[in-house]
Amino acid sequence: MSMLKTEIYDTEREMSLRCAQIVKETLDRKPDALLCFPAGMSVAGTCVALKEMQDAGEIDFSRAWFVSLDEWLDLEDESENCTNFLRKRLYGPLGIREEQMTLFDTHAEDLEAECRRIDRFIFDRGHIDLMLLGIGMNGHLGLNEPGGGFDSYAKVVELSETTMNVGQKYFSGGMKLTRGITLGVRHILETRHVVLQICGAHKQEIVRRLYHTGPTEDLPATALMLMDGAEVVMDREAAAGTPELAGAADEA
């Protein structure tokens, strides 16, 4: 079993509150921290908790910076893409200003140059301070698909069949998914603190694989085992298929 630092909470709400607290702790230490959030339902509860904390005057985002994790390419309708998911659930509710956000331009004529622009922004900020991540059903992080390697910065990727299929849940109608643009695993490894959020019984099998597989490019999430600053925060449903995690649940 891997030595990933792990915290397990009884409910998704409790898991989300813990992740929101980690964001607060980051900004308390460094008010102008560079933050990176994923799109997807794993982070939705954390967004709600952060709004509650902001309304209570417990957290201040006014000096924070944000950078895109990933984005779909070639969409016929972009209204439900990753950026708009986060605008609806995070940036908008928290009142994040446009100048605080550095987002992938999916319409850039030269997407490789766009990747280098994002890279430079991250390098100029001294790397990312806190990154929240979800885990794909095939173990991907961001849109870093199995077999993609751990040594790349921002890049354009061809989507796996699993991601093409599972990704449909983010769209109200059928959507043709073929390519994406994403921060590479090397950006993740260079981030000061990475939190992998996992919730729901449907993630039990990928959680089991994560904790019973050594670092391998075939399961991108295992790259976190190479980091000192990575941890997993999950709910009890997600952990239920991996009995060895019972001790971590007691410690959370």
Comparing 152-156, 206-210, 247-251, which segment has the lowest mean pLDDT? 247-251
Residue 242 has pLDDT above 60, yes or no: yes
Question: Rounded mean pLDDT of 242-252?
Answer: 67
Comparing 99-103, 172-176, 178-182, 197-201, which segment has the lowest mean pLDDT? 172-176
Residue 174 pLDDT level (bands cut at 50, 70, 90): confident
Beta carbons within 8 Å of 21's beta carbon, 6+ residues apart: none
The pLDDT of residue 1 is 46
Kindly report the backbone phi and psi dihedral angles of residue 248, in degrees, each rounded to the nearest multiple of 5, phi listed first: -65, -35
Q: What is the pTM of this model?
A: 0.95
Of how many residues is the chain composed? 252
Tell me the average pLDDT of the chain: 95
Question: Rounded mean pLDDT of 9-21?
Answer: 98
Question: Rounded mean pLDDT of 209-222?
Answer: 96
Catalytic position from the list 81, 140, 187, 193: 140
Comparing 23-37, 201-215, 233-247, which segment has the lowest mean pLDDT? 233-247
Question: Rounded mean pLDDT of 90-94?
Answer: 98
Read off the amino acid at residue 122. I
Q: Does the structural domain 5-241 have CATH classification 3.30.420.40?
A: no
Give CA–CA dist 252/236, Å, rounded.
11
Q: Is residue 32 annotated as a catalytic residue, yes or no?
A: no
Angle at 116 between CA 95 and CA 46, to 5 degrees: 30
Question: Rounded mean pLDDT of 201-228?
Answer: 96
Q: Is residue 99 annotated as a catalytic residue, yes or no?
A: no
Residue 72 has pLDDT above 80, yes or no: yes
Q: Is residue 138 annotated as a catalytic residue, yes or no?
A: yes
> Comparing C-alpha atoms, which of 215, 220, 29, 63 is closest to residue 133?
220
Residue 250 has pLDDT above 50, yes or no: no
Catalytic position from the list 138, 187, 190, 193: 138
Residue 80 has pLDDT above 90, yes or no: yes
Question: Rounded mean pLDDT of 182-199?
Answer: 98
Q: Is residue 140 annotated as a catalytic residue, yes or no?
A: yes
Catalytic position from the list 14, 70, 114, 129: 70
